[in-house]
Amino acid sequence: TPEQAQQVAAPLRAVVAELLGDDAARATRILYGGSVKSGNIAGFLREPDVDGALVGGASLDVQEFSAIARFRSHVGV
């Protein structure tokens, strides 16, 4: 779930901040590596510490992949 992704991403960012500083933590992009599709991508990217996602099988469907790529124009993220 998006909440679980955030529960993992936040401590990762905190470790980067502790080891390398706040600037490095802000500059580090943390990607969700599970399954995303057009119906759930916005939920993941609304989380403050999830900066992107890896698109797997959905990338094989042009319509689905296009919807994922355009999601920002449809939601307030």
Listing DSSP states for 4-69 in one string gives: HHHHHHHHHHHHHHHHH-HHHHHH---EE-S---TTTHHHHHTSTT--EE---GGGGSHHHHHHHH
Supply the pLDDT for residue 35: 86
Number of domains making up the chain: 1
For the chain, 77 residues long, give each residue's pLDDT as a single digit of tens. 999 999 999 999 999 999 999 999 999 999 999 989 999 999 999 999 999 999 999 999 999 999 998 877 655 55
Residue 43's domain comprises: 2-73
pLDDT score of 76: 58
Q: Would you call 72 helix, strand, or coil by DSSP?
A: helix
Which of 33, 42, 37, 41 is closest to 76 using CA atoms? Answer: 42
| Tokens encoding 51 | 């900066």
Q: What is the pLDDT of residue 77?
A: 53
Nearest 10 degrees: Cα torsion 58, 67, 34, 53:
130
pLDDT at 66: 93
Q: What pTM did the predictor assign?
A: 0.84
